[in-house]
């Protein structure tokens, strides 16, 4: 499915679990991923050597930055969490997001929990 014409609404309809990103494309050394999120199950974590782009396709998303402000994103807005920044995401209602991350970026960074997904688990 990677690098073929895709319909995002159809892809999102196949996602059954929150916080479980799916890789939908590759661009050079990055993956384009989509996921549904709801609640606050993502732990505080950081990516030591990679930035992480969050783009909200549907709903609203809060990105909490440790020791700093809360970034609130609405549909059509994006934010880049810079490498080494401890963060977590949360939302009250279901939210659809696109992530753009280096291929080496681990799902929950330096923290492993029951929701952590390996790169292999993220392929459709």
- The residue-averaged pLDDT of 20-25 equals 94
Cα separation of 77 and 74, whole Å? 6
Output phi, psi for 8, to 5 deg: -60, -40
Structural contact between residues 72 and 96, judged by C-beta atoms closer than 8 angstroms: no
pLDDT of the residue at 112: 78
What pLDDT score was predicted for residue 68?
82
Q: Which two tokens stand for residue 2?
A: 């990677």
What is the per-residue pLDDT across 39-54, written as a single tens digit (0 to 9) for each? 988 889 999 999 999 9
- The two three-digit tokens of residue 35, written as one number: 């996921």
Question: Distance (Å, rounded) from C-alpha 124 to C-alpha 118?
Answer: 13
pTM, two decimal places: 0.89
Structure confidence at residue 90 (pLDDT): 95
State CA 96 to chain mean position distance: 9
CATH number of this structure's domain 8-114: 2.60.120.10
Q: Give pLDDT, residue 1.
A: 54
The mean per-residue pLDDT over the stretch 63-79 comes to 95
């Amino acid at each position: 499915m990677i690098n073929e014409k895709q319909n995002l609404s159809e892809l999102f309809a196949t996602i059954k679990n929150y916080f479980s990103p799916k890789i939908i494309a590759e661009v050079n050394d990055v993956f384009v991923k989509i996921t549904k999120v709801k609640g606050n199950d993502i732990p505080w974590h950081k990516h030591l050597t990679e930035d992480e782009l969050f783009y909200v396709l549907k709903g609203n998303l809060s990105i909490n930055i440790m020791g700093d402000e809360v970034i609130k994103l609405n549909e059509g807005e994006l934010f880049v969490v810079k490498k080494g920044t401890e963060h977590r995401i949360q939302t009250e209602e279901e939210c659809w997001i696109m992530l753009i991350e280096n291929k080496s970026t681990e799902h929950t960074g330096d923290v492993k929990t029951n929701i952590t997904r390996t790169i292999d688990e993220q392929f459709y």
